[in-house]
């Protein structure tokens, strides 16, 4: 098992590993189903969020943080095992063996094993967190709760903590922003569809999301200008 994990770890650092990471980042969405929805702000939001997340994963891999890139991917495929089991014990167990289900399951296992291999055999040391670096991400957690709810926010928070401990601030900001792309586009869609029907509470949430997105974007640009990675 040790040799298997070490082989996966070494492969994940190679060019082939980078290609696999990019393929898995794009595979997370049902491309054909999205095409079937036509061209509108909703589908644009989905595509932009996928592109943003793919770039985040690529950047982590490119900057020598494969633990981060693979853990992010693992969270995207974390539901694959339960989907496989539910299909297997459903009235149509054959659905558990569709190409999409199998690929998703393999993707989850691959990213899990790679992540575990880095934790076990590279033993990465966490960096110290500063309140200044954490502040924009705390703002994201607040907005995430409003936009996605409790469960999703917990997952996002855990990923951000891992990125801050073992990755970089830029990767954390990219991850946060990539998760805000769809809510922003969806917000624009709602405003253009029925601006008169939006309540005061919804306006407050909208302004908060836009404000935090602008804040994170400013911090990202500032970090790039400082030459951070």
What does the pLDDT average to over 147-171? 88
Distance, first Cα to last Cα, the chain: 33
Whether residue 108 contacts residue 75, with contact meaning beta carbons closer than 8 Å, is answered with: no
DSSP states of 97-113: GSHHHHHHHHHHHHHHH
Tens digits of residue pLDDT in 96-142: 888 888 999 999 999 999 999 998 888 888 777 777 778 888 889 88
Q: What is this structure's pTM?
A: 0.87
What pLDDT does residue 61 have? 92
What does the pLDDT average to over 174-181? 92
Domain extent listing, the chain: 1-124, 128-229
What pLDDT does residue 34 have? 62
Whether residue 6 contacts residue 118, with contact meaning beta carbons closer than 8 Å, is answered with: no
Tens digits of residue pLDDT in 10-66: 999 889 999 999 999 888 766 556 655 667 777 788 888 888 999 999 999 999 899
What pLDDT does residue 115 have? 93
Whether residue 51 contacts residue 28, with contact meaning beta carbons closer than 8 Å, is answered with: no
What pLDDT does residue 118 have? 92
């Amino acid at each position: 098992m040790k040799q298997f994990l070490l082989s996966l770890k070494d492969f994940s650092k190679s060019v082939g590993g980078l290609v696999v990471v990019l393929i898995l980042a794009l595979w997370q969405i049902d491309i054909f189903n999205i095409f079937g929805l036509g061209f509108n702000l909703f589908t644009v939001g989905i595509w932009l969020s996928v592109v943003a997340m793919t770039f985040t994963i690529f950047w982590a891999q490119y900057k020598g943080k494969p633990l981060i890139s693979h853990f992010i991917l693992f969270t995207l495929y974390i539901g694959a095992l339960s989907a496989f089991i539910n299909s297997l014990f459903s009235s149509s167990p054959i659905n558990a063996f569709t190409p999409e289900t199998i690929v998703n399951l393999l993707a989850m296992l691959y990213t899990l094993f790679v992540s575990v291999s880095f934790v076990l055999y590279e033993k990465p040391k966490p960096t110290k967190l500063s309140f200044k670096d954490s502040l924009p991400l705390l703002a994201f957690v607040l907005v995430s709760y409003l936009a996605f709810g409790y469960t999703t926010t917990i997952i996002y928070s855990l990923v951000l903590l891992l990125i801050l401990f073992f990755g970089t601030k830029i990767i954390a900001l990219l991850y946060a922003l990539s998760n805000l792309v769809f809510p922003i586009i969806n917000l624009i869609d709602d405003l253009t569809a029925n601006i008169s029907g939006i309540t005061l509470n919804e306006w407050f949430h909208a302004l908060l999301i836009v404000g935090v997105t602008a804040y994170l974007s400013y911090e990202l640009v500032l970090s790039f200008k400082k030459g951070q990675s």
